[in-house]
Amino acid sequence: MIKSLVDFIGNPDNVGKLKKIGYLMLVATFLSDFFVHREHAIDFWDKIPGWGAFYGFVSCVVIILVSKFIGHQGGVMKREDYYDD
């Protein structure tokens, strides 16, 4: 079971299918937020449908961009043959 899943994900021929599955999951997460009861929401943004999915997506993008910046510009990332010298 796991081997077939890893083979499916690792196969370059399945990139289109994986993108469609990913987009479908994003849309399903966003739409499912419209069915949540919000009578106990404390902040105003908690009452906005889809806010959690939007906030999570933007947060992940920011984390990736900041990490790449720190890695490339901050000197954290080293050459591939760094330890061979």
CA gyration radius, the chain: 20
Q: Is 30 exposed, middle or buried (0-12, 13-18, 19+ CB in 10 A)?
A: middle
* Cβ(30)–Cβ(50) below 8 Å: yes
pTM reported for the whole predicted model: 0.60
Domain positions in the chain: 2-84
Per-residue confidence (pLDDT) for residue 31, from 0 to 100: 87
| Dist. CA 49–CA 32, nearest whole Å | 9
pLDDT in tens, 22-38: 999 988 988 888 888 88
pLDDT in tens, 45-80: 888 888 888 898 899 999 999 999 998 888 788 778
Average pLDDT over residues 14-26: 92
Q: Which residues fall within 8 angstroms of residue 52, CB to CB, at 6 or more apart?
A: 33
